[in-house]
Chains A and B, each alone.
Chain A
């Protein structure tokens, strides 16, 4: 447990020291949402109807920008070798690193979402639910990105391949994430059934994705 905490703490420290990743993800999210109204036109009703979907799609893309760094840096400088020789089983190493990605990338993105929601005329009363849904759904985003990051380890231009591999797997998160927020914006149903599905997807990903990531990491050493 202390080993996992040490790893998570180090990854968070590295993410903030090396800066880049978090800033780029937040900036990308901001820019994509800010230019959307130029493409869609100034119809406020239309914007508030498409806001949940736009916010979710842009969040997924922004989170993927830094996803290839989950394992890549450690693989390049030999740290991953030593991480596999520690007391932690490899799936726990993968889970710790995915969790650190969630804390350093997805949580800041989810916290930025309310501001961007205002740009898209999202009704103010739905904003707490938007943040809640994003915090509940994004663990799945980071943990599934961990699979993609370990599969593309050691490849050149792995970021693009990673997006191709991982984006289809995000469809369930997207569907239930958007329907949670949409239900609150336009009705008529309750937002809670899709919200609970979102929680279930995240919990399942947190258990299953590290196993897949660890299996992919083992093949990367060959």
Chain B
């Protein structure tokens, strides 16, 4: 990650509808290189849906999401890493094979360095099916380092991680934003990362129309 990232991400007036119910609407924010957004809100207010919308996995009910990277015609999804509740870990492949596949598919990256980030090197050879929940989560997060991408979408990344690993994750987010990357993180535990923006989805009353501009840093 020697080349600093220069991507920007802009969401304008986006709304989300799940099962006929509006979770939020008229949501706008703009993130430049090196900025991080903390998404907060009680369960069921649309944190995961927002992440999936930015990643292009859920349709937008209204509004637009624009990401600009090094290449003008790269779709937003290809600039993003999405680590959600599901780890996307294949249990019958070894830890190393899992990461090697992702670097081959997504176009990476240094597998050995990525394994080292969360201290997975000693268990690189064993089947991912034998890993604990926390280790699987670390393997999923290692994808962030194996294939450098400017925008990180982390949906409760600290679930089932131990204290030291949460600290390591916070440090990784800080390093990422320092290198010019963008991070959007939803979390219920405090992470030691410097968030330049905060978005509280609980403050979004879907019945009240109005702008939810994120305050500038």
Given known A17-B92, A221-B57, contact A78–B84 (CB-CB < 8 A) = yes
Interface residues in B, total, Cβ within 8 A: 29
- Is the CB–CB distance between B88 and A81 below 8 Å? yes
Q: A2-B104, A3-B105, A6-B101 are in contact. Are A85 and B55 (CB under 8 A)?
A: yes
Interface of B, helix, strand, loop or mixed by DSSP = loop
Chain A nearest Cβ from B71, distance in angstroms: 11
Bound Cα distance A42, B173 (Å): 73
Residues of B within 8 A of A222 (CB): 58-59
Q: A85-B78, A86-B106, A87-B106 are in contact. Are A10 and B86 (CB under 8 A)?
A: no
- Residue A13, interface by CB 8 Å: yes
Query: Knowing A78-B88, A82-B102, A221-B57 touch, does A87 contact B107 (C-beta < 8 A)?
Result: yes
Query: Using Cβ atoms and an 8 Å threshold, which residues of chain A touch B107?
Result: 2-3, 86-87
A interface with B by C-beta (< 8 Å):
2-3, 5-7, 9-10, 13-14, 17-18, 76-79, 81-88, 221-222
Write out the residue numbers on chain B whose beta carbons fall within 8 Å of the beta carbon of A18.
Answer: 92
Q: Which residue of B lies closest to A18 (CB)?
A: B92
Residues in A with CB closer than 8 Å to B77 are 84-85
| Segment 73-97 of B: residues with Cβ below 8 Å from A | 77-78, 80-82, 84-93, 97
Which of A10, A84, A221 has the most chain B CB atoms closer than 10 A to its own CB?
A: A10
Residue among B57, B59, B89 with the highest chain A CB neighbour number at 10 A: B57
